[in-house]
Structures are given as C-alpha cells and as structure tokens.
Structure 1
C-alpha cells in the first residue's frame, strides 16, 4: 500500500489538529504540519513520520497538566517539532515500548515536569540534533531502556541533565549538557551503563558524573568543566568509570573522586581542580592512571589515597600544582607508580603517611618543600627515582620500612637524603645539594666540571650483566643485534686505541623508530648503563623529555629550557620522545626549531658528556633528522623497533602477572592469544602498553568476580581464568552477540 501524505494546518484543506491526523494515519504514512501552535496530547502508536512542513522552528505542540505533549509507543519518526510541556509530571516527550526504535530529529523540547524526554520500558530511540530544557526536573531520563543521542543540547535542567536508572544503557555522542541544578549525568542502579563520546558536561551545580552502586560510565573524548562538585564521582560499591582522552577542568571538588568502585583513567587531562585531580578514598576502591596530565588547582594533593584504597599510575605528569603531587594515607593503602613526573609543586612532591607504595623511574623537581617524605608507618620502595630542585630535603625518609635503589638527589636546598632510621639504601647518589648527607659526596668536592657528582653509583653492573638484561627482554631480536653490534664496535675501538691504533669516528647518538610501547625507553635506559659500564659516560642515567620540556612559549624561553634538560642528562642519556614534534608540518614560526639548533650546539660542545636518543614514528623521524644538517651528521644510526607479536604480548602479560603474584591458567593464555590476534595493528596500537592495560583490566575483572566470595582460596586469589577477560574481548562475547542478532 502506498504511503499517504496527511496535512495539518490551522486553515484550508486538511486536519485542524495533529492528533486527528495521527489517529487516521496508517503505518508508513507521513503527517506534515504547517506552522502554528497545536494542542496535545498526541500519542503516536504506529510507524509513521510526523514532521514540520517547513523544517524546525515553526510547529509547536503543547501538552497539558495531565499528559505529555508527545508520547511515542511505536517506531515512528518525528522531525522538526517544538514540543512544550505544561506542568505534566510524566514529561514533555515520553518514549515507551518494548523494542521500539523511534527517531526524534531536530526537535526542541521544553519541559516543566519530571523530565524533558523520558525513555522507558526497553525502548531504544535515536534522538538527534535536539534541544532540551526543563526547569523543574531532569533534562533526559532513561529508565530501563536504551537509546542513542547525537548532537543534542540539554540546557539548564532543574535536576540532572541526564538521569539513568533501572539498568538503562544510553549512548551520547557529541552532546552538550550544560547548566543543570543537579548532576550533569546521574547513573543509578546495578547494570546501568552510560556512554559519552566527544561530549561536554558544563557548569553543573553538583558533580559532572555521579555513579551509584553497580553503575558504570564510559567517557571518551569528553570534557567535564566547571562542576560545583566533583568532576566524576563514584559513590557506590562496584561502580565503574572508564575515562579515555577526556579533559576535566575547573571543578570545585575533585576531578575524579572514587569513594567506592573503580576508575580507569587513560590519556586524560586534569586542569585547575580545586580539591585535587584524583581522590581514591573508599576501602577497596581502586583507580588506574595512564598517560595523564595534571596541572594547576587548589592546595589539595594532585593524587590522594585514603585507607584501604588501591591505585596504579604510569607515564603521568603532575605540574604546577598548589598541593602535594601524591599523598598516601595508612591502613591498607597500595600505590604503584611508574615513569611519573612531578614538577613545580607548592608542597611536597610525594607524601607517604602510611600504606604500601612503590615508585619506579619517577622524577620530582622544583617543589617548594621536600621532594619525598616517607613516614615510619609507610612501607615504600623507590627504584631509579630522581629528586632535584626541592626547597628542602630531596628524600626525607623516616623509620626502617623504606627501600631506595639507584636513586639520585641533586640541587636540593637541604640534604639529598635525610635518613631518620635505618632504610635500605643501595647504589644511590647525592650531589650539589645545600647540605652534606651520608649517601653521596658532600657538595663542593671533586673537580669544578663534576661539581661533586660521583663518577658512578656504587656497585655498577658489568657490560656482560647489562647485555644479559637486554637479552632477557621479550622479543626485539633485531634491536638486540643492533645494540650488540654497536657495543662490539665501541669495545674494539677502545682496544685499538689502547694499542695505539687510529680509531674511526663513531657516533653514539641514536634514532629509535617504531610504534608506542615497543620498548624504546627500556632499551635506551640499558644503553646508557652499558656506556657507563664501558667508561664512556659518567653516570649512565636516562632523562626522558618531550617537546613540552624543551620548547618555550615566547622568544628567549626555548634555549634555556633546552639547556636545563640537557644539563640534567650530563653524564647520561637525553631521551627525546616524539622528537619529530620539534619540527611541525606547518611552515609558520615555531620555537621547536630553536630547540633543535640549541641541542645541536650543546651536543657539539659536550660531545663526550651526553648521549642523545631521539624516538618516534618511522616516517616522522626521517623528516625530523633531515630538518637540520647538524642532526643528520650526528644521528647516523637508526634502530627500528617492531611491533610485538601476539605470543610476545601474552608473555609480557604473564610477566606482569608474575610480578604481582598472579598467574595465568593455560586456557587464559589461549584466550589472550586469540584476543591479541584480533586487535588491529597500526600507529595507535599500544604494544607493551596494551599488554599492561590488559593485565590491569583482568585484575579488575578478577576482583569483581571474587569480591563477594567468602570461600575464595589462595589459588582463587592468584589464578586469572578466561572469565577475567571481558566478554566482548573473547569468543564468549562474539557468541552472545551472534545469538542476539
């Protein structure tokens, strides 16, 4: 049967009201409405299209105190209408019906009741390019239903901009939730999951995102700004927040507060947060941070942990904050931090009141108090950590429950190491500090060039031992061969020199190319230690920097910044990650070129003091080296780092598990191999980082699985089984999806 066009207008031929036309319409018909204001309520219970004749803005449908302006109980399409409530508590637009998939497109919704748009009873609408306001209640309410919301604006709601309950699962893409008197997004009830992609949550009276028990929020590329409370607040057991590529800024509370549940934060930015970027306070609450930046804010710690909380932090930068960098409380708190930087804090860089904390390859610099304070109630481990430029002590360690290995402290106002008690201190060095200490050489001794810096840490590893560490790395066969060849050239050159023979020039500077997570920094660190063992570098430490560390924001700012980082690397390796960012593609003025020129001159003036490694994607690094003739002559050797194979990623995951007292069942290895095989490889592939994130996810799933068990054995607590991989990563997820199709 052919579709009919039914017209509604205030005069002339056709229907006088929308309701009459809808009642007479058959499935597939189109009801077209001329400009004007029409009384409701209208119930659309068949698959028709209801549209404004001249597009959005001319047709207004008004409800009453007892009924919604528009109720959709079928998979209809509504386009371009202005929908206005008149005090009906059920909402202005009600979408309800098991399995219906209506479309609301280009509509304006003004509510005065419970909600502007209400979605219930397993309906899954597509709401697109709509504008929603509701001064008395929620902007959008989704209860026991789903739905996709695209390019919608929800403004000035009297309660939450988006309220999710009853196991609802809405997805928002490119939406703006602004100015609600309550939460930006409020998610209640076990099984409720909200997904926000490339959206904004702005100027909320309460938290930007609020999660109760069992609720979950997944935010990707989303901005949360100007919240009256926390940016994201997890406030119930088993609540889960996953944040990727998000910005949380100008919150009056914490950026992400985990009172209960767990939060995963990756590639995010926290800017000017009043009460600290991340606060993990509830017993058994957990958070993981990866490649996250924290800047500005009030006088609270950037990352703080309460009793019984757990956190892992990696490749995270904390800069220009008014409080501590890290603060860890007592009684069961656990923190593991790797490759983190705390720079320019108005308080102590790291404060450990209690708990169990481990810091690996972390750097604290230019803080207005101690670099690190560990009180006697804390159990702490510091490996390959550096504190410089602290106004007071570098490391202020109390009691005998701290272990410091291969740590360095220099240019601090008081001592490098203030040890009150009997901590374990191994192969550490202290120099150029304001006061003497018992670890390193006192300031002012030695020659002027060394400024009191010790020639090497105590008990350095031999070349053979370091090459053994290199061989123990998973994969990287060609990389290992390249490094060994270079070491052989150096060693033979030394023997020729000892024999009085001429030695051809050999540049020790290197270009590392490849995708992220392929071990470039790890190999660079080993290379520095090998050169130190060969006597070619004084210390062999590695200083990792990127464009932001070298390039200033105004004329005359870049050269001093670059020199400062170069000086930090004296006696070791300056590792410049994503070095191609110093030569942007655009042809305009850029201070990155000044950084390159400064670097080339410093490399020439201090050719035997610092080895420079530049790293990044293959094509971009070729462009970078070609950008300056001085670079081409100094970086004559390039080492390509291949992606890890799936079996190598399984081995990396297993190493992570072993290091944390877990083990993988054989069936778990099989599932992991299939999962890694299924991943798309490309520039964005994380390689070893993917393996680490996979392990962290498995640990979270394992904890959820066993948290309520009262009979779990030690075997249960250590064994990771296939069920600890999320269903969507495995054949289980694909089977269930196939069944549901």
Structure 2
C-alpha cells in the first residue's frame, strides 16, 4: 500500500518521538480499554495490547498502529452486545496487526472502513462477521482506469489474514473502495465470500476462499477484480460471478468444486482467464450469458456436471490453448446468437458432443482436437454455423454433423475412428467440405442426406466400414478430387433419385461394387476412376448415370441386381455372396461327453434355478432324440431361449455351455457361440441392416447366436427404428434355418417382454425364459475364492468373514455387476495386497499368498 505520511492536517512535528501506549487488564500505567489508549494517541503513535479479550467498539480516527504485544491469537477484540463493528477505521494509513476481531452478529460487520480511510490488517483473524469497506461513489462517466483520488479513496491491505464464520458476506466492497489481499484465507461463509459493487476494486494474490453457501466472489456494477495464484474451493454457487458491467482478470487461479458454474459472466461483464483450472463444477464450468465476454488462455476445465463452456444470448467466448476434459454434457454448447472462437484447444472425453451449436450461434474452430466424446465431435444444428479448420476429431460417435442451412465450412481437418459416419450433412443442410481426411469410420465416411447442398473439394476417405460416400435421396452435391479407398461396402452409394456432379474422383479397393446406383439415380461423373475393385457398378434398374472420360477398370458393368436374398426388402443393396457368408469356418469344438458338461454346469456358483431348467431341457431333448431314433414323431420343441437377468449373472457363460450341450446331444453341428449386440446387427442407413444381420446370423450357423441387450433393438418409445428391421430379418432367418442354429436373446428382465412383444414371430419362437437371479453374498464370496485359487491366493478366515459382510452391505444399485463386481473386488484386493507387500520389504511366501481383511476395498 502507498503510505501517506505527509498529510498536513494530522502530521506530528518531526522532532517529537513516537509514543507507545500500553493496554492491558492489569499493570501500572496501562490503559484498561483500547479505546482509551487510542483517544490518548496522536498521529503516528503505537498502541500495544496485552493478551486478553476486550469487548468494546474501537474507532481508529487518526494514523496509529494497533498491535498485539505477544502476537496472533493472544488478543480478541469483540464487538459489544449492543451491536456495531468491533473496529471502525475513519483515519488514513492505520495499521492493525495480530488481532482477532469478532462481531456480535455474523451478519454484521466486524470491521468497517469509512470512505476516505485506509488501513493495513496484517496477521489478523476476523471471525463471525464481515469486513466492510465503503468508498465514495464515483460519477458514472468516470472511466475504469482512472487514477485514485488521494482525498476520496478507501484503501485497505489485507496481509496474511483469515476471515471466517461470516453470514451474507465475508468481505464487502462498495463505492470507490480499493482493497488488496495478500496470502489471505476466507472460509466458512453462510453466503457469498466476497461482494464488490459500484466501482470497487479488489486485487488479490494467493487468496484461498473456500466453503461458502453462496458464490465465491460476486462482482456487480462497474467493479473490478484481479486474481493471481488463488483458489476458490467448495462454493455453494458460482465460484466467480460477474454481473452488470464488471470486469475480472484471473491468472494462475483454480476454481474447484463450485456448486454451480465455475465462472459465470452475465450482463455486459467481461472476464479474462489465463492459466486457470476449473474442476468439478456443479453445473457448467464456464458460463457466458447476455452480452458477456469471456477470454481464456491456457486454461483447463475438468469434469463439470454440465457443459465445459455454455454461451447463450449474445455472449462472446474466446478460448486459446485450453483443455476441456470429461464433461457431463457437451464440452462447448453455444446457442442463441452466441459467438465462440476456439483455437489450438483440446476436448477429451464427454457424455455428449464435443462442440454443439444451436439457435443462430456461430463458432470458429482452428487447430483443435476432439476425442472420446459419446456423440458428435462437432454438431451444428438449427440455424447455427461453424468454420472448422485444421482440426482433429477421433473416437466420437460421429465426426462432424451439420443439420443447419446457414452454411458451415469444414476444411483441412481429420476425422478418425468414429462409431458412425465421419462427416454427416443432414437433410436440407448446407456445407463446404474442403481437403478433409476421414479414416476408419464405423459407417459411411461422408453422408450427404436428402436435400443437402454440399460442395466437396479434395480430401480422402479411407477404410470406412460402410460406404465411402453416401449420396442420399434427392441430394445433388458437387464433388471434385475426392479419393475413396478401402471402403467396407460401396465406394460411392447413390440412393434413389439422387444425383450430383463428380469430377476427378477415385474409388480404390471397395469391398462392394465401387458405385451403387439405386433406381432413379442420375449422377454425372467426369474423369473419375475405379481402381482394384471387384466390380465397378452395382444397383438397380432405372438408374441413369452419365460417364464422361471415366475409367471403370477392366471388368464390365454387371446386370441389374437380382432380388435381395434372405428376405431382405426389395431395392436393398445386394452385397457379393462372400459378404453374407461367414468370414471363415466356425471354430471346431472338441467332442465332449454329456455327463462331463452337466458336471461342469454343476460347478458354477449359484444359479440353482438355471441349472434345474437346463437339466430339464436336456432330459426333454434326450427324449426327443430317442423318439426320432425309434421312428416316432418328435414333439414340438423350440430350442431358442430368453435369458433374463441383470449384468454379471452368468448369462454368457451358460449360453456357451448350452451350445456345447446341444452339440453333445447331436442337435448342433458345431456348438460354438457367436456373441453380438445392436451395433453388430443394425446398419447406419436404409438397406444395410438386413445384410449386416444376415452376416452375423450366418457366422452362428451350426451353433448359438447370443444377442446381448436384445431389447435395444426395439425402441422403448415406439416408432420406426432400424432395429425393427433387424428383428424382422432374424425372424425370417430363424425359420429358414430352424434346425441349424439356436438363438438366445439376453437382457434385463423388465425389458425382455418388450422385445418379445415387438414381433409376433418372436413370441412363437421364444417360448422359454431362464431367469438369472442376482447372486447372494455367499455366492459372491465363493466367486472371489475361486478367483483366488486360480491365481494362487488364499483368503484368511477373517478376510472371508469380512468379505461376506462386505457383500451383504454393498449397495445393489444400477451399476452393481454381480459376478463382475466379485471379480473386480478380487482384483482390487490383490492390488491393495501388493501395495501392502511393497511396504514390508521382504515378505514371506505365506504373506505373498494371503489376502487379509485389510485388503478389502472400502464401500462406495
């Protein structure tokens, strides 16, 4: 602080020495009250206070020093019961050191600094009340960077202070107050930690603010805040809240475990963050609303309960060299008329999109990376628009999806390893795709939906599991210089009534015909090439493509495709026969004896009801076989089963054993198990679900097709879904191959009835349900012991007893995995035991194999 020691109105003559006034409960010459000593002091004097508790309202009217003789924690200045602050500062350049100051009411000020006054509080504790600093109100036209007025500014320095137990606020600044806080702690506040209003300013370095029921720091009016190397921790609401026209800068600051937003900017406020960390926010980590502005550089956002950045209204956000990890919602969500710029930043993990634009939002992404998000890397919806340049998107559900007609531009970016399409332009959307690379898409490399307006210039599509480029019904793109290589289906799929102009494009090594032309497709291809493909053309009658100077390879175009096999819908793309056949012969299963398999079934932990049902079915099938050998007609028998049970109850294990039992009975050729789920059966666009389902079914011929979470094929809310097409295909295939395959549909008990009821053919084929009940605590202990024996461990008697109690009390919630939880418990026990052994130095062989009670994981 700037000490002003030359005020003429209260100056001490230079020749007069500084006096010391003693205060204590006893002693000759000492004042009994602090107030008495202060009244006797003149500017520049020092008041030294002996240990004790002083209940009085002290007023500093002139420049004095007030200090505890024996240091912090020895002197308590408590406000009298009648109310009012314990300490009121009215004079300039005062110093208070090593006092504990208490208010009579936590909602009242313990320290009050009047307009124009100044004080240094060093090594003080303010308890059960706030520090209130009031400055003169400044004229509205005063600029934010004006110089302080020496005659009118309230100035306070907090150094190594602690503020605790206040209500409403711990530090309140108003008017033209100026406060600097160094190495100060604010904690346990029933309300907001710090409140600034008017044109107040707070400059805080190494501030630690924690445990507030309201926001950490709240700025209103035209107040200003500067934070450096600080921590805002466990605030009940926003960590940092800016309103009205306030401004804040933060450098090297952490905002952890905020109850709401980490940083929230509203009104016309502006926040600038540099090298800050916002972790575990209870809502979105960064929120910018109204006409707010946020600039963040080198910041990290980690595990917010909602978005990493939420911008609404006319807000503007600029993020450079930032990182947003594991957001519960989209990492960045912009809506309304918000505008966002993201440069050289990274999004990793997240339950929704990497970047989601809605309303009329605009975003510019440059040299950014998005990976591991559950939905799209970038989703552009409603009337929003994005410019994406030089970005890298990987391991997302879809790379970039655009459903807005406003016009987006995706340029020189890379999309890899997506679950579905790499680039997807929705119905009626408009986009430019320039020089992009799509690699390893789980479905189509680029999908251009109905009525989209798209220009594609340059770029590559490599190794897509579906077709490289899909031009859907009614789409008319302009595509030039695109190379499609190694597509798992067609190189380019032209749907019914599609078209467009393709110039200088290459299709290389596609698994299906290089070009699929549905009825009514009218594309024009100029100087395009088909290289190393089994076939150049495939599709339906009624297509009218135009080829100009094209090279379609050595093979002539085949005739129109025959009717689709396996009962697929008419007009579906017909893959080569090899694509519908198994990838190779099913694995050989060694000859096994029925009694040995039933004995193996008996060794499984628990599952008494399932074991009984399997034994009954085996006896029935033995009787059927004897009747057939005797030349008698066999009774009707459906070998298809429903396995209903929660996760980890042994459904897959029993299914594999069931196939081996049927082979031992001579009812299946191979008895092998092919395990699939929705993703293995359902295609990404019309016409591809049937072939995919048929291919999975064919791999199971001679054995068991095990469909895990089969209910996911049937939408819970009804309506059309490609999963229903998979169900219809399965019903037909089960009828065509009823003697050469067994289908087991597995899932949660409550959902399997919906699956069976979705198609009349299912209820007639799945007539028996095996209920897999949850494991009891003793069963889970037995599973752990079995795992221990396999890995040469042994549970002590105490560990076994406590493990039983552990499983009896562990919550059986949605995430409980039954046998899987038991195996995870065993793994954690071995890890904890290994840590314990490392601390012993030289453990004995017996110690290395023993699992003790202390190795059990804690509940929760």
TM-score tier after normalising by the smaller chain length: 0.5 to 0.7
- Verify: 1:675 aligned to 2:788, yes or no: no
Alignment of 1:384-463 (within 5 A): 457=588, 459-463=590-594
Q: For 1:20 and 1:681, locate their aligned partners in 2 and report how far apart those are by CA, in whole Å.
A: 48
When residues 220 and 544 of structure 1 are mapped into structure 2, their CA distance, relative to the original with a 3 A threshold, is farther
Q: Is the 8 A contact 2:187 2:209 kept in 1?
A: yes
Shift of 1:688: 1.2
Please give the secondary structure, in 2, of the residue aligned with 1:75: strand
When residues 626 and 24 of structure 1 are mapped into structure 2, their CA distance, relative to the original with a 3 A threshold, is same
When residues 102 and 512 of structure 1 are mapped into structure 2, their CA distance, relative to the original with a 3 A threshold, is closer
Aligned to 1:687: 818
Q: Is the 8 A contact 2:136 2:175 kept in 1?
A: no
Q: Is the 8 A contact 1:319 1:345 kept in 2?
A: no
- Verify: 1:151 aligned to 2:239, yes or no: no
Which of 276, 299, 306 is the equivalent residue of 1:161? 276
When residues 89 and 130 of structure 1 are mapped into structure 2, their CA distance, relative to the original with a 3 A threshold, is closer
Shift of 1:532: 2.1
When residues 223 and 275 of structure 1 are mapped into structure 2, their CA distance, relative to the original with a 3 A threshold, is closer
Aligned to 1:23: 111
Alignment of 1:470-489 (within 5 A): 470-489=601-620
Q: Is the 8 A contact 2:345 2:369 kept in 1?
A: yes
Shift of 1:324: 14
Please give the secondary structure, in 2, of the residue aligned with 1:173: coil
Aligned to 1:48: 167
When residues 637 and 102 of structure 1 are mapped into structure 2, their CA distance, relative to the original with a 3 A threshold, is closer
Q: For 2:725 and 2:853, locate their aligned partners in 1 and report how far apart those are by CA, in whole Å.
A: 52
- Verify: 1:184 aligned to 2:300, yes or no: yes
- Verify: 1:517 aligned to 2:651, yes or no: no
When residues 507 and 612 of structure 1 are mapped into structure 2, their CA distance, relative to the original with a 3 A threshold, is same
When residues 499 and 249 of structure 1 are mapped into structure 2, their CA distance, relative to the original with a 3 A threshold, is same
When residues 648 and 556 of structure 1 are mapped into structure 2, their CA distance, relative to the original with a 3 A threshold, is same
Q: For 1:470 and 1:35, locate their aligned partners in 2 and report how far apart those are by CA, in whole Å.
A: 85
Q: Could you report, residue by residue, the CA deviation over 1:165-193 in whole angstroms, capped at 9, with x for unpaired residues?
A: xxxxx85323325975335159xxxxxxx
Aligned to 1:172: 281
Aligned to 1:616: 747
Aligned to 2:321: 205
Q: Could you report, residue by residue, the CA deviation over 1:301-347 in whole angstroms, capped at 9, with x for unpaired residues?
A: 99xxxxxxxxxxxxxx999995899xxxxxxxxxxxxxxxxxx9959
Q: For 2:807 and 2:327, locate their aligned partners in 1 and report how far apart those are by CA, in whole Å.
A: 22
When residues 62 and 551 of structure 1 are mapped into structure 2, their CA distance, relative to the original with a 3 A threshold, is farther
Q: Is the 8 A contact 1:72 1:102 kept in 2?
A: no
When residues 345 and 535 of structure 1 are mapped into structure 2, their CA distance, relative to the original with a 3 A threshold, is farther
Q: Is the 8 A contact 2:239 2:255 kept in 1?
A: no
Q: For 2:646 and 2:201, locate their aligned partners in 1 and report how far apart those are by CA, in whole Å.
A: 58
Shift of 1:23: 3.0
Please give the secondary structure, in 2, of the residue aligned with 1:614: strand
Shift of 1:21: 5.8
Please give the secondary structure, in 1, of the residue aligned with 2:783: helix
Q: For 1:268 and 1:694, locate their aligned partners in 2 and report how far apart those are by CA, in whole Å.
A: 28
Please give the secondary structure, in 2, of the residue aligned with 1:501: coil
Structure 1, 453-462 or 716-725: larger mean CA deviation: 453-462
Alignment of 1:308-387 (within 5 A): none
Which of 180, 187, 191 is the equivalent residue of 1:77? 191
When residues 79 and 46 of structure 1 are mapped into structure 2, their CA distance, relative to the original with a 3 A threshold, is closer
Aligned to 2:771: 640
Q: For 2:834 and 2:725, locate their aligned partners in 1 and report how far apart those are by CA, in whole Å.
A: 50
Shift of 1:458: 5.7
When residues 452 and 708 of structure 1 are mapped into structure 2, their CA distance, relative to the original with a 3 A threshold, is closer
Q: Could you report, residue by residue, the CA deviation over 1:79-111 in whole angstroms, capped at 9, with x for unpaired residues?
A: 8956799683516x6526xxx655327935998
Shift of 1:721: 2.2
Q: For 1:705 and 1:172, locate their aligned partners in 2 and report how far apart those are by CA, in whole Å.
A: 35
Shift of 1:694: 1.9
Q: TM-score, normalised by structure 1?
A: 0.57
When residues 547 and 275 of structure 1 are mapped into structure 2, their CA distance, relative to the original with a 3 A threshold, is closer
Task: Report the RMSD for the aligned CA atoms in angstroms.
Answer: 5.4
Shift of 1:635: 0.4
Shift of 1:550: 2.0
Q: For 1:539 and 1:198, locate their aligned partners in 2 and report how far apart those are by CA, in whole Å.
A: 50
Q: Is the 8 A contact 1:31 1:49 kept in 2?
A: no
Shift of 1:605: 1.3
Which of 79, 100, 104 is the equivalent residue of 2:215? 104
Aligned to 1:577: 708
- The size of the alignment, in residue pairs, is 520
Q: Is the 8 A contact 1:515 1:684 kept in 2?
A: no
Q: Is the 8 A contact 1:30 1:49 kept in 2?
A: no
Which of 566, 570, 575 is the equivalent residue of 2:697? 566
When residues 552 and 268 of structure 1 are mapped into structure 2, their CA distance, relative to the original with a 3 A threshold, is closer
Shift of 1:520: 0.8
- Verify: 1:118 aligned to 2:231, yes or no: yes
- Verify: 1:67 aligned to 2:181, yes or no: yes
Alignment of 1:241-280 (within 5 A): none
When residues 545 and 494 of structure 1 are mapped into structure 2, their CA distance, relative to the original with a 3 A threshold, is same
Shift of 1:464: 2.2
When residues 118 and 681 of structure 1 are mapped into structure 2, their CA distance, relative to the original with a 3 A threshold, is closer
Q: For 1:630 and 1:712, locate their aligned partners in 2 and report how far apart those are by CA, in whole Å.
A: 63
Please give the secondary structure, in 2, of the residue aligned with 1:23: strand
When residues 73 and 456 of structure 1 are mapped into structure 2, their CA distance, relative to the original with a 3 A threshold, is closer
When residues 159 and 456 of structure 1 are mapped into structure 2, their CA distance, relative to the original with a 3 A threshold, is closer
Q: For 1:723 and 1:658, locate their aligned partners in 2 and report how far apart those are by CA, in whole Å.
A: 19
When residues 592 and 33 of structure 1 are mapped into structure 2, their CA distance, relative to the original with a 3 A threshold, is farther
Q: Is the 8 A contact 1:33 1:52 kept in 2?
A: no
Q: Is the 8 A contact 2:209 2:216 kept in 1?
A: no
Aligned to 2:671: 540
Q: For 1:700 and 1:114, locate their aligned partners in 2 and report how far apart those are by CA, in whole Å.
A: 42
Q: TM-score, normalised by structure 2?
A: 0.50
Shift of 1:140: 2.4
Q: Is the 8 A contact 1:201 1:224 kept in 2?
A: yes
Shift of 1:640: 0.4
Structure 1, 493-502 or 547-556: larger mean CA deviation: 547-556
Which of 772, 783, 787 is the equivalent residue of 1:656? 787
Q: For 2:714 and 2:683, locate their aligned partners in 1 and report how far apart those are by CA, in whole Å.
A: 14
Structure 1, 563-572 or 245-254: larger mean CA deviation: 245-254
Q: For 1:617 and 1:173, locate their aligned partners in 2 and report how far apart those are by CA, in whole Å.
A: 32
Aligned to 2:526: none
Q: Is the 8 A contact 2:642 2:768 kept in 1?
A: yes
Aligned to 2:723: 592
Q: Could you report, residue by residue, the CA deviation over 1:485-538 in whole angstroms, capped at 9, with x for unpaired residues?
A: 111111110111000111111001101111111111111111112222222222
Q: Is the 8 A contact 1:347 1:368 kept in 2?
A: yes
Aligned to 2:209: 95
Shift of 1:711: 2.3
Q: Is the 8 A contact 1:541 1:571 kept in 2?
A: yes
When residues 461 and 31 of structure 1 are mapped into structure 2, their CA distance, relative to the original with a 3 A threshold, is farther
Q: For 1:255 and 1:708, locate their aligned partners in 2 and report how far apart those are by CA, in whole Å.
A: 39
Ranges in structure 1 where 5+ consecutive residues have no aligned partner: 7-18, 54-58, 164-169, 187-194, 210-218, 233-242, 257-266, 278-292, 303-316, 326-343, 349-366, 370-388, 392-412, 414-448, 730-741
Aligned to 1:190: none
When residues 71 and 451 of structure 1 are mapped into structure 2, their CA distance, relative to the original with a 3 A threshold, is closer
